[in-house]
Amino acid sequence: MTTENTENLEAKVEDGAQTSNEVENDNVESLETKREEQGPTEEEKAQAEQEDFKAKFYYLAAEMENLKKRQARETDNLLKYGNEKILSSLLDVLDNLDRTLSAIANDEDEKVKNIYIGVDMVKKQFSEVLTNNGLTEVESIGKSFDPNFHEAMAQQPAEGKADDEIISEFQKGYILNGRLLRAAKVVIAKN
């Protein structure tokens, strides 16, 4: 064979190789196109459905956990603050006992002194029951005014007192389990 023939033959073989590669690529592309036209396979559908169910399961599990936490929080608040309304009403009774004691404190009559002792015992017992149910008194006199716990009813000049220091109290304030039940009504110093 001559060199020319050999070169022609090699060129034809190369052309044939390129043509077979092109045919192979065309076949792969046509198979992919057919798959796309047919849509997802059964396996792909099953996998997508499984992922969807898994996402829904995780969502419902998280929702259930949040529901449990919310229910526990509401139950805790109900136990802590469920008696708030009745305790708030009983504060007026406690105030009346304090007023009674302050009205008869300086009386010299022996019978009135005995009544004072009896009313004081009742007030102490009543206060103890309220304290056992989570009620605490807001300390005011001599403290600095705090709008979170005190309600200023008046301002008065007072020597030897700092500005905004509480000098007297009209009505005591109370806290129920860390939550303000009633603000103390106070008079503050204004120099």
State the Cα–Cα distance between residues 63 and 33, nearest whole angstrom. 42
pLDDT tens readout for residues 90-121: 999 999 999 999 999 888 899 999 999 999 99
pLDDT tens digits, residue range 147-182? 999 999 999 998 888 888 999 999 999 999 889 999
Based on the domain organization, do 95 and 148 belong to the same domain?
no
Domain-terminating residue out of 55, 74, 93: 74
Do 144 and 126 belong together in one domain?
Answer: no
Residue range of the domain that includes 128: 83-133
If asked whether residues 62 and 8 sit together in one domain, one would say yes
Tell me how far apart the alpha carbons of residues 47 and 41 are, in angstroms, rounded to a whole number: 10
- pLDDT, one tens digit per residue, over 8-60 is 555 554 555 445 555 455 555 555 555 555 667 888 888 999 999 999 999 99
How many structural domains are present in the chain? 3
CA 9, 15, 18, 20 torsion-angle sign: negative
Do residues 145 and 188 make contact, with C-beta atoms less than 8 angstroms apart?
A: yes
Q: Are residue 57 and residue 89 in the same domain, yes or no?
A: no
Q: Are residues 153 and 189 in the same domain?
A: yes
